Each structure stands twice: as C-alpha cells, then as structure tokens.
Structure 1
Amino acid sequence: REDQVRAADARVAQTEAAVTGANARLAEVSPRAPAKARVEDVFFHPGEWAPANQPILSLLPDERIKVRFFVPEKDLSAYRIGRTVRFACDGCAKGLSARIEFVAPRPEFTPPVIYSREARDRLVYLVEARPSTRLNPGQPVDVEPLGS
C-alpha cells in the first residue's frame, strides 16, 4: 500500500511539473503589454508573416500622454513645474486640467528664425504637463495657467 501512495505522489508531482511547463510555454507565446497602454500602430495583421524579433504593433502607455505647449518668455513665470494648467480641446469635457512636469531650460525661436530685438516676441519655452484625463496623441489644446 505504501508503494502505491508513493507512486501516486510521484504521478501528482509529475503532472504538476507538466502543468507548470505548459503554463510557461503559454506565457512565451501569449504576448502581454508591459504596462496599461493603447495600440498606436499595427505593423502586421492576422495572416501576415512577421520576421523574428520584429515588433507587430506599437504601444503608447497611458502615462506617456502629455500636453505639450509653448509659452512666450514674458509669460513663463506663470508656468512652473508643479503648477496646474487648465486646457480645452474640441470634443473634450469642460474643466480639464494638467500638472506641469517639465519646462525647457532654454528657449527656442518660433520659425522663421530671425535674430533681432523684435524677434524676442517669438522666443518660446516648451512646457509639458500630465493631463488628468485621457487624450488622443496630437490633439490640439488651448492652455492657461491656474496658479500655484
């Protein structure tokens, strides 16, 4: 009787190992996104041949969506890291906001580049803010500061 119990225990262990191996193989062939993201582009569709180590789609993680806008030098003091901005876009809900996470350390000229005293009005700083809602990449927005 003890021999039968040991044999049954061995079969159970063998079956558990087979299940673990099958789950590992399934995980290898079942791709998963490393983070919550949206599909930005599809490079290959069902039935198409994809070369080895070639991406089949492009993902855009939700936390990488940001509002990017440019601020003239004279208004820069209202746009500091940590402050909140209000923004609006066509088809969006009212009262949207974003928290400023980046302000460029150096200004850049808006085209055309003409270096003169009068051209200073075209000197702008890139600002990036994390929106509190989901937006579409490239969506135009209007931005204004809310304060500190």
Structure 2
Amino acid sequence: MKRRWIKWAMLGVVLIAGFGAYVWLGQREDKLPEGIASGNGRIEATEVDVATKLAGRLTEIMVREGDMVAKGQTLARMDTRELAARRRSAQAEMQRAEEERRYAAAMLEQQRSQLALVVKDLDRYRRLYASKSIALQSLQRQETARDTARAAVAAARARQANATAAIDAVKARIDEIQSFIDDSTLMAPVDGRVLYRLAEPGEVLGAGGRVLTLLDVSDVTMTIFLPTNQAGRVDLGSDARIILDARPDWVIPARVSFVAPKAQFTPKDVETRTEREKLMFRIKVRIDPELLKAHAEKVKTGLPGMAYLRLGADVLWPPVLKTTLDGA
C-alpha cells in the first residue's frame, strides 16, 4: 500500500512539473508583442570529415568519440615508410644532379677558354694571310676550328642548363613527397568535438578515406520557416533568440545569418499539414561563435526549440526574451 502511495505521489509531481513548464512556455508565447516572430527548429552544427589524401595504412588515432579537439591538433597518422624511402631516393638523385651541374660548369669554362685561344689564332692567321705568308686553305681551317669551338661552348652551356633543370625537377619531386608526408599527419581543421570515429589503426584506406567526423561547435545554427508577411521584414544580421525545449530557462542570443531568396513549401516535419501547404521562407539563425567557445561543452545537435526574431530594428525584446545564457 505504501509503495502504491509513493508511486502515485511521484506521478503527481511529474504531472505538476510538466504542467508548470507548459503553462510557463504558453505564457511566454502569449506575452510576445507585435513585431516578434517565432518558429520551431532544431540545433544544427557543421560536420567536417577528416580524411586521407593518399591511400595507405592507418597507424594511429589519438582521439575518441566525444573528445574536444582544437584546430591544428594532431588526430591520426598514416604509415609514411614508403614515402620516406621515396624521399631518400630523390635526395640521392639530387646529389647526382648537382654533381652533373658542377661538371657541366667546368666543361663550359674549358670550352670558353678553348674558343678564346682559337679566336686569337684566327686573328693571327688573318694577318699572315694578308701579308701573303700563308695559303687561303690554312686560314679556312682556322675559321672552321673557331666555328667548332663556338659549337662546343653552346653544347656545354646547354648541358649546364639541362643539369639545372634536372635539379629543379628533383627539388619539385622532393617537395611533393614531403607534402604527402605532411598530409599523412591528419590534423583538426576546426575547433570541435569528435562525432564519429570511422576507422581504426591497421586499416588500409583509399585516397579520401574518412577517418573521423568532427562537429564544428563554433558554427551552430537553427533553421526555421516564416510566412511571407513576416519573412519580408527580417533583416540579415538582425538580432534573434533561441530557446531550447530541454532548457527553457536559457535564452540564447543569436543573429539571422541567412534568409532564403525564394519561398518554398515547408518540410513534412515542420508544424501542421496546414502550415506545410503554405509557402514559407527558410531562415537560419546563428549563435555567436565567441559565445559558443565559452559553452562548447554544452553544444548538442538535434535539440528542438524555438527561435524568435525581431521584425524591425525599433522592436524591443520583451522581458521573457532577455538573454540568460551567460548567467546559466
């Protein structure tokens, strides 16, 4: 008998609490002045995938689902032994290319000296020919020697240029391999929470294979739908408020970040069938990122709630919509 009495007492407490919350929310709705619009929606946040750039074996994951991570934090590593071997091979090739360039430079200097000597001899042969001391055939042989020396200089210069180009190509390959090695360390692109761990160490993943999914807790929004007579009075960047069903005592400040340029029928999960048959405008309100940083641990997506918007800059927020999150 006593247990039955306790059970009925607990049920009565729950009903009273539920009725009180219902009345409190209803009063909040009833007290909304002219110029305040509202719509229901759910908390949403941007999901960011952390994926591999190259195919390979996953060697290590440093985080688990639910962990908070900072932008730039190392989250996972891929096996880089093959890439390291390719880099060593390219570095050895670089040394050979540099030796080839030094040899080509020395050969160029040698051919230039040879050309200078041949040119001097040609001047002497011309004077001798002018004084009738040598035959024309001797002069022509010296001119041919000069042309040959010039060709040798051009060939040495081309060889040096080829060696320089080979060095540049090897440098580019080394930089590419190094970038692949750097990309094999997977880092957090944003501050957020680990939502899903999609792979485990030892798995071989293809290029673009997803390892983790992060929830960007600095980009949290709620999407609502307003009729045309209200949406036309909503300004981008204007103040908004969000109240979650789970925490009706929190009044969260936000701003309008998106107003659809075209009307649409609302989704099936919004309001009643009568509301769905109306043309509405999709509006997104975004919570201040700086505020989210202070309350990052409290961010949970999918929570239902209400968003409230002012339909004009001169409209004042009623007392029931004064922000309270900072004091929560």
TM over 0.5: yes
| Counterpart residue identity of residue 36, structure 1 | D
- 2:242 touches 2:254 (CA, 8 Å); kept in 1? yes
* In 1: Cα distance, 2:217 partner to 2:276 partner: 36
Once the two structures are TM-superposed, the CA of residue 29 in structure 1 deviates from its matched residue by 4.9
Aligned position for 1:49 = 203
| Counterpart residue identity of residue 143, structure 1 | A
- 2:266 touches 2:279 (CA, 8 Å); kept in 1? yes
Determine which of 135, 138, 141 is the counterpart of 2:305: 141
* In 2: Cα distance, 1:49 partner to 1:77 partner: 53
Pairs within 5 Å for 1:77-88: 77-88=232-243
TM-score (norm 1): 0.64
The aligned length equals 119
* In 2: Cα distance, 1:50 partner to 1:88 partner: 45
Gaps of 5+ in 2: 1-178, 269-273, 314-328
1:76-104 deviations in Å (ceiling 9; x for gaps): 13422011111111333512121111100
Q: Say which SS state the counterpart of residue 74 (structure 1) adopts.
A: helix
| Counterpart residue identity of residue 126, structure 1 | R
1:89-138 deviations in Å (ceiling 9; x for gaps): 133351212111110000001367xxxxx989711111112113454222
- 1:40 touches 1:57 (CA, 8 Å); kept in 2? yes
- 1:72 touches 1:121 (CA, 8 Å); kept in 2? no
* In 1: Cα distance, 2:275 partner to 2:225 partner: 16
Between structures 1 and 2, the one with greater strand share: 1
Name the Cα RMSD after superposition.
3.1
Gaps of 5+ in 1: 1-23, 113-117
* In 1: Cα distance, 2:230 partner to 2:259 partner: 12
1:62-81 deviations in Å (ceiling 9; x for gaps): 33321111111121134220
| Counterpart residue identity of residue 255, structure 2 | R
- 1:50 touches 1:56 (CA, 8 Å); kept in 2? no
Rg larger for: 2
Aligned position for 1:70 = 225
Percent identity of paired positions between Structure 1 and Structure 2: 23
Pairs within 5 Å for 1:1-148: 29-45=184-200, 47=201, 49-53=203-207, 54-92=209-247, 94-110=250-266, 122-132=278-288, 133=292, 135-146=299-310, 147-148=312-313
Q: Say which SS state the counterpart of residue 186 (structure 2) adopts.
A: coil
Higher relative contact order (CA 8 A, sep 6+): 2
